[in-house]
A and B are shown apart, each in its own frame.
Chain A
């Protein structure tokens, strides 16, 4: 008892430093009343009743419940768009740890965190979408559908989520202050990175391969034997763009907070942004060419001058070639500003592509189509809001955009 009484102040200060940012609970709570938090709270309050509705009345209460088009926004956004955007973790980790691009080291932790949170929320979206979410572990434990591409996706997302957690562990242990575990976590970095790239290659492409089973349903301009390659290649520029977008948003949000973002790093972001933009331009160009290989392979030239063809052209020129040129132009003029804008534009393009494949161009022949229910949209916005809050909570506490004072320059 006496021992506990002695330790109590230590525990209190530990919690205060690590959870409440060194403030007393009162100060901390008062500090939370800021416009951003108020907006977030309102969104969550609006969304909560629909969360309850989803889990008490079934999917039909919040989605369009279409028998023809069973996948809506939960998967179209949460899985098919969320996962390529979360590719930033494997892209930056492999660039720095495997290819030795040490200059980009300051971007690895934010990228791994973005990836981890991205996958975590992809799983959360999945829990909303699955008819029986509590059976999520079934493909790993109860019944193995080994012929299924989705079986591969399920396994890989689960394994990769764990891998990314391991990759992020050094930051967690620095925060907790456990030197032994931190060293252990650092020791598996290379193995985890390689494993992460393998898993990412396979499940990023597998998300596209899911649609190989829908040849009569997915419009021929998007249905291609190359669709796994399209999904994989586009995850690369999605990941590069996310690294730019993340550093942009974090730098703005943490402006003046030198305790949370190393000012030297922040000052260096522009140089790194230009480097990432350069890589993204090249990958976009590759993807642009590949898309035409897909059209040629299927010999679908005649479809280009239809309304679906115009959408295809808008996507390929507007959301692939245009950002490619903008990146290249920004690199040539050393304009980090333009590259930052283009990164957000590219992210939008990836979303357009994934939503087109998973929702818009799927079942294109059906006379009556519904895409999603407005309640589904509210839920998606609510979940994204929680996602942002979780990300911010971590960045404000863990050494993500800074070196931990105890471990400065250790890696």
Chain B
């Protein structure tokens, strides 16, 4: 082998040095985030929603989205369960009431604006930010278009502009962050709702409001604020008259914030970067020394033969 010790040590030092760079970069990702104290949110009271889709129309208008295939006053849209798309940041779905004879239940669906968003922890260019105001905002200026946020989102919210070849973006509810909240306004859908099914405010206040409603009307509500603890808490909260699992809500998501799911793996990275060079370098040293010993043995045998 044409490799001497100095060259080898240099190579190992280079590998180790690269390791240290990687370590400092990744270590930042495993800090704990406890949430902004004054973050805002929306409480959706499903007992009040009548499925008029005024919120959808308001969202469409404020975000300048293309007109829907089925008009906003057409009830036939409820025949299918819909999800959010690049053309609709919020959708209302209808579910049959599990109580016999009860009216159908309408569920408004949009980005939940998680306290510790899966999309933000998934994004390799940090295009998502949880703003201090509570909205999860997206920066299309850095987005590469890998769509890992869509795979990561437990609520199936982010949608992609697949048919745009040159500047495709992720599209989702912004909580009207740029258009209204940052100017002191409230989200368009909340303002438009004729039934006051949605309340906008500080998340901590909303939880109090929700508790109070449940406490005062135990017969009307199930004792569950969806989003209070799910995936570590979301800014968009729901209360309902029927159990959430009957309304298309995922109830097996747990209360662990999603960034914690990969924290263990990411914290293993620096370990590998440090241990592997030592271990593999060690094996290499063994191997090299064995060759030396073999050569020595051969010399001894040759000497004896002579």
Residue ranges of A at the interface with B (Cβ–Cβ < 8 Å)? 55-61, 63, 65, 67-68, 70-71, 94, 97-100, 129-133, 135-136, 138-139, 142-155, 159, 183, 186-195, 197-198, 201-202, 205-206, 209-210, 212-217, 225, 228, 362, 411
Contacts and interface: CB of A to CB of B under 8 A. Distances in A.
B125 A144 contact: yes
Contacts of B11: 188, 190-192, 194-195
Contacts of A94: 280
Given A58-B162, A67-B83, A201-B272, 13 more contacts: A99-B283, A100-B290, A138-B125, A146-B26, A147-B121, A152-B269, A183-B2, A190-B11, A192-B11, A206-B265, A212-B262, A213-B261, A217-B154
A209 B146 contact: no
| Number of chain B interface residues as a range | 35 or more
A150 B124 contact: yes
Contact of B144 (A61, A136, A153): A136
Dominant SS at the A interface?
A: helix
Contacts of B253: 215-216
Contacts of A142: 125, 142
Interface string B245-289: 000001011100011011011101100110011001101101110
Contacts of A148: 29, 121-124, 126, 148
Contact of B126 (A130, A135, A144, A189): A144
A210 B148 CA distance: 9
Given A132-B168, A142-B125, A154-B124, A194 B12 contact: yes
Contact of B83 (A68, A131, A152, A213): A68
A187 B10 CA distance: 10
Contacts of A97: 284
A58 B168 contact: yes
B125 to A, nearest CB: 4
Contacts of B193: none
Contacts of B122: 148-150, 213
Contacts of A136: 144
Dominant SS at the B interface?
A: helix
Nearest to A213: B152
Contact of B26 (A58, A61, A63, A152): A152
Interface stretch (B17-25, B183-191, B215-223, B235-243): B17-25
18 contacts: A65-B162, A67-B159, A71-B151, A94-B280, A99-B283, A131-B164, A131-B168, A143-B126, A145-B124, A151-B124, A191-B8, A194-B276, A194-B284, A202-B272, A209-B262, A213-B151, A215-B253, A228-B268
A132 B145 contact: yes
A198 B124 contact: no
Contacts of B150: 67, 70
Interface in B163-189: 163-168
Nearest to B15: A195
Contact of B162 (A60, A71, A100, A147): A60
Interface of B: 1-3, 7-8, 10-12, 14-15, 18-19, 22, 25-26, 28-30, 83-86, 118, 120-127, 142-148, 150-152, 154, 156, 159-168, 250, 252-254, 258-259, 261-262, 264-266, 268-269, 272-273, 276-277, 280-281, 283-284, 286-288, 290-291
B266 A143 contact: no
Contacts of A149: 122, 262, 265-266
Nearest to B150: A70
Shortest 6 CB-CB contacts between residues of A and residues of B = A191-B11, A131-B145, A100-B287, A60-B162, A147-B29, A65-B162
Contact of A201 (B12, B25, B121, B276): B276
Given A194-B277, A201-B272, A98 B142 contact: no
Nearest to B155: A216
A159 B18 contact: yes
Contacts of B156: 67-68
Nearest to A55: B165
B25 A213 contact: no
Most buried by A among B3, B12, B120: B3
A212 B164 contact: no
B271 to A, nearest CB: 10
B121 A70 contact: no
A129 B148 CA distance: 12
B63 to A, nearest CB: 17
A135 B29 CA distance: 22
Given A58-B162, A215-B261, A187 B7 contact: yes
Most buried by B among A61, A98, A197: A98
Contacts of B10: 191
B289 to A, nearest CB: 10
